[in-house]
Amino acid sequence: MTGDEILTGEGVALQVRAASVVARAGAWFLDALATAAVTIGLIVLASWALGDTLDWAEAQALMTALVFLVLILIPATVENLTHGRSLGKLAFGIQILRDDGGPVRFRHCFGRALIGFFELWMTSGGVAFLATLMNDRGKRLGDLLSGTYAASIRGAKSTLLPLYMPQELIGWIRFTDLRPLPEGLALRTRQFLQRAGQFPPPARQRLGLRLAAQVEDYVAPSPPPGTHPERFLAAVLFERRLREQAAADARAPRLNAQLAGVEALPFHIPDPEV
């Protein structure tokens, strides 16, 4: 499985990797046991409350509503409220995340649950198992359609490696026009550089070239011929951070002056703290 990292609200990078097929199967088995227990409880409750008052058509409608509630709506709601966790996922250290590393929303959870009804429950997990094996991030069909994946967060370590500037690119980058990078692209580039050593060489080369081609659309002029894609990406991110810091430092005096003017009392009004 390939690795990723997500950024917490405090700006700390949390390294994660896609959950294994075995872990996902175990989590689903525990969730299935919990679902079965809830289903039996609801059936007993309905039987006690309604008795023999329903005809066959009404009983069929009730069972359809019960299936939708237990197999789709409740799992989606639980996953949404717990930000991608469930009883089984909690036990196996799994969390559902968006492809960009962000927390899932109800539409992601509902899409996963809706597709999961067919690929998990209708086929006893067979379709989901095959889809997971064929995807490098262990995605089932519900994940592919919802833009999510199952991340293993047990034992994850919080790290944030420093950016660096390749020495051979200093002369080029100083006179380069850098347009603002989309946040998603900048995050994917930083994630790739953090985890590049853990990719197989062919995948590492392919991902590096793909990201370099995307980033190059925001850079002019292009890097010197023969520049390694990873060193090009590192130079762009390093220079981007330097320029953003310089811009923030340049704005600081004006901001401080504005804040001082806001805090000052109008003319002739004495300051009670003096």
pLDDT digits (tens, 9 = 90+) for 8-42: 333 334 445 778 888 888 888 999 999 999 989 88
Residue 102 has pLDDT above 90, yes or no: no
CA separation for the pair 151, 80 (Å, rounded): 16
- Closest C-alpha to 121, from 29, 21, 27, 37: 29
pLDDT at 163: 75
- Closest C-alpha to 75, from 110, 42, 121: 110
Q: 202 or 256, which is more confident?
A: 202
Q: Residue 157 — pLDDT band, cuts 50, 70, 90? A: very low
- Closest C-alpha to 181, from 169, 172, 192, 190: 190
Q: Residue 263 — pLDDT band, cuts 50, 70, 90? A: low
pLDDT at 74: 92
User: What's phi and psi for 137, nearest 5 deg?
Assistant: -110, 15
Average pLDDT, the chain: 81
Residue 155 has pLDDT above 60, yes or no: no
Across residues 94-98, what is the average pLDDT? 87
Radius of gyration of the chain (CA): 26
Residue with tokens 């390694």: 228
Residue 220 has pLDDT above 70, yes or no: yes
Residue 179 has pLDDT above 70, yes or no: yes
Q: Which alpha helices (H) appear in the chain, and where do they start and end?
A: 21-50, 56-68, 74-81, 87-91, 106-116, 126-134, 141-146, 170-173, 183-195, 201-216, 229-263
Kindly state the tokens that stand for 153: 């967060």
pLDDT at 269: 53
Across residues 106-114, what is the average pLDDT? 92
Q: Is 152 helix (H, G, I), strand (E, B) or coil?
A: strand
Residue with tokens 């309604």: 50
Cis peptide leading into 180, omega within 30 of 0? no
CA separation for the pair 26, 238 (Å, rounded): 42
pLDDT at 85: 87
User: Which residues, listed in sequence order, are joined to residue 97 by a DSSP beta bridge?
Assistant: 103, 149
Residue with tokens 């995605």: 139
Q: What is the DSSP string of 62-110?
A: HHHHHHHIIIIIHHHHHHHHTTS--HHHHHTTEEEEETTSPBP-HHHHH
Residue 60 has pLDDT above 60, yes or no: yes
Q: Residue 159 — pLDDT band, cuts 50, 70, 90? A: very low
pLDDT at 268: 54
Question: What pTM did the predictor assign?
Answer: 0.52
Across residues 155-179, what is the average pLDDT? 76
- Residue 234 carries which side chain, given as an amino acid letter? A
pLDDT at 221: 92
pLDDT at 219: 93
Q: CA quadruple 188, 190, 194, 198: dihedral positive or negative? A: positive
CA separation for the pair 110, 129 (Å, rounded): 20
For a pLDDT cut of 70, what percent of the chain falls above it? 82
CA separation for the pair 252, 247 (Å, rounded): 9
